[in-house]
């Protein structure tokens, strides 16, 4: 089974306590997103809270959206 990160995708990760971070080596539980549309869909479904196993605030989500690279990663 391949264990390398998906090419062109962005990892969002968080520990139970502390900030939510963007980056392939960010510490903590993570979720991968393939585009801004994918990010917005995940936000709408509450997928980040489930994947990261912690509450993700609206402020954190807006900060993450601002950190994401261009329209299509």
pTM for this predicted structure: 0.80
34 backbone φψ class: left, alpha, beta (φ>0; ψ -120 to 50):
alpha
What pLDDT score does 72 carry? 53
Q: Give residue-wise pLDDT tens across range 10-34.
A: 999 999 888 999 988 899 999 999 9
Coil, helix or strand for 17? coil
Q: Are 56 and 13 in contact (CB under 8 A)?
A: no
- pLDDT grade, residue 6 (50/70/90)? confident
Q: Are 65 and 39 in contact (CB under 8 A)?
A: yes
């Amino acid at each position: 089974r391949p264990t390398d990160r998906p090419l062109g995708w962005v990892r969002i990760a968080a520990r139970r306590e502390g900030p939510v971070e963007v980056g392939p080596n960010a510490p903590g539980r993570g979720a991968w997103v393939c585009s801004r549309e994918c990010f917005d869909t995940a936000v709408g479904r509450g997928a980040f809270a489930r994947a990261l196993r912690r509450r993700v605030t609206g402020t954190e989500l807006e900060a993450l959206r601002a950190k994401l690279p261009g329209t299509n990663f």
